[in-house]
A and B are shown apart, each in its own frame.
Chain A
Amino acid sequence: MYKFEISPRNTERVISKLSTKYTIFDVTKSEEKVTFCCHDKDRKNILKTLKFMGLDKTAYKAVKMTGIFKPFCSVGIVLGLVVSAVLWIVSSFFITDVIVMGDIDFTEQKIYETLKQNNIQNLMFKSSVDIKKLENAIESIDYVSYVSIVIRGNALIINVREQLTNSEIVNSGNFAPLVSVYDGMITSIKLIQGTLAVGVGDIVKVGDILVYPYSTDSNGDTRSVQPLADVVADVYITSSLTVYDQRIEKSYTGNVIKNYQISFLGLPLYSVENEVSYEHYDVESKEVYISDTLLPIKIKYDEYHEYTESYIDTNFAENEQIYAMQTREIALLNVKNYDIIKNESYVVRDFDGYHVIEFTITASKKIA
């Protein structure tokens, strides 16, 4: 069915004329326009008649009404859609598939046993799955080093990685020499296997060979071995921090502009885009999928948080100790728990408008 809109001039004459040949429905008249409907088959002829009657092109327009809604006229289709929607909603509450993936060679059996112990099966409520508890249970299995469990659609996906065994490391093929990973002065060496290239008191740099990958037997024959040794050295761990005489401090005003965009398969369907008039602002973006199982409809939120900037005097002279401690904290990031700190010191270098603190920690550290 087509709907016509025409200008309200000579309405009665137009309708009378059309009704002699065509069936006209739902005639309504207002001050601005007159609308009426007709069958699809009459559309072309009615347009011709309107043109013949002297109505200019802009005075009328035809809009197909039933094209979009026609499919919904069928009770069967509507019922089918309703049933499908209900089934989809109901199915979204269930897990219908349990997928175990990852590098699993000898823990597979135990993983499935653990799933069984935790009542994980192919048809179960999503809400009945305690993901954290299940992750902990699988992680506690020997040789499992990493577990990640997610629910995607109707599937429970368990991603597992196993630990590498020692034998895999030792027998991994061509042996490389053991090299230093720090600059420092060697203070002790405990050789396990291989041939030493350095001695106590030697100064080594990063990449220097510490132990060669071979050993020599009593007959003077050499054979390839995995070089293993505990080499401890005094290493210098340094860090630096630049402190400017002034720093910029942000203060959020609390004003927020929120924009969002709804898209389907990456194509924008609807968006609200307010103009961002702030001089300074931070953007916080978030993307949410309305449904990850039926339609990939995504809503992207952008929040613009206004802030003002002010210059703060850092008072370096007064706060030197605080900055020195901050620099120390940076250096400590490279100090392991079992490293022994032997000495700490720092120097300050002053420049125009800023100061550089260099902190040095001398630590007894395993370098190989």
Chain B
Amino acid sequence: MFNFFSELIADYGLEIDGVSSFNIINMSNKLVYIEGQKGVVKISSESMSIRIKGGLVEVLGQNLKLKKISGSTVCIVGKIESIESK
């Protein structure tokens, strides 16, 4: 099956374990898609913290909403101001 991240890793010859690490997509600061989530740490309309392997992704913004969370993926919508990976 086609996987966007696997294709990127293959094209650029990166040595990343695409299955066990995490990936983040920001679409026009309106939608953040995180692959490889390990759980939700904080939910609020100003910030969302998502646990990932070996760290935390913090999404800051306004009117944030956890649109969908399932298995290893999470989708956050709203007015996104910053994404920090710690």
Contact = CB atoms under 8 A, between A and B. Distances in A.
A24 B43 contact: no
B44 A29 contact: yes
A24 B69 contact: yes
Interface in B8-66: 37, 39-45, 51, 65-66
Given A26-B65, A27-B65, A28-B65, A16 B40 contact: yes
A262 to B, nearest CB: 38
B77 to A, nearest CB: 10
Contacts of B74: 19
A12 B70 contact: no
A71 B69 CA distance: 27
Contact of A25 (B40, B42, B67): B67
Given A26-B65, A28-B65, A19 B43 contact: no
Contacts of A25: 67-68
B44 A27 contact: no
Contacts of B43: 11-12, 15, 27, 29, 34
Contacts of A316: none
Contacts of B65: 26-28
B39 A16 contact: yes
A49 interface: no
Contacts of B41: 12
Contacts of A23: 68-71
B39 A24 contact: no
Interface residues of A, number: 16
A172 interface: no
B33 to A, nearest CB: 14
Nearest to A19: B69
Contact of A26 (B42, B44, B67, B71): B67
B71 A19 contact: yes
Nearest to B66: A27
A20 interface: yes
A70 B25 CA distance: 33
B67 A12 contact: no
Contacts of A15: 40, 43, 66, 69
A12 B71 contact: no
A346 interface: no
10 smallest CB-CB distances across A and B, nearest first, come from: A16-B39, A27-B66, A23-B70, A19-B69, A12-B40, A16-B40, A24-B69, A29-B43, A15-B40, A25-B68
Interface of B: 37, 39-45, 51, 65-71, 74
14 contacts: A11-B43, A12-B42, A12-B43, A15-B66, A19-B37, A19-B40, A19-B71, A19-B74, A23-B71, A24-B69, A26-B65, A27-B66, A34-B43, A36-B66
Given A15-B40, A26-B65, 18 more contacts: A11-B43, A12-B42, A15-B69, A16-B39, A16-B40, A22-B70, A23-B69, A23-B71, A24-B70, A25-B67, A26-B68, A27-B65, A27-B66, A27-B67, A27-B69, A28-B65, A28-B66, A29-B45
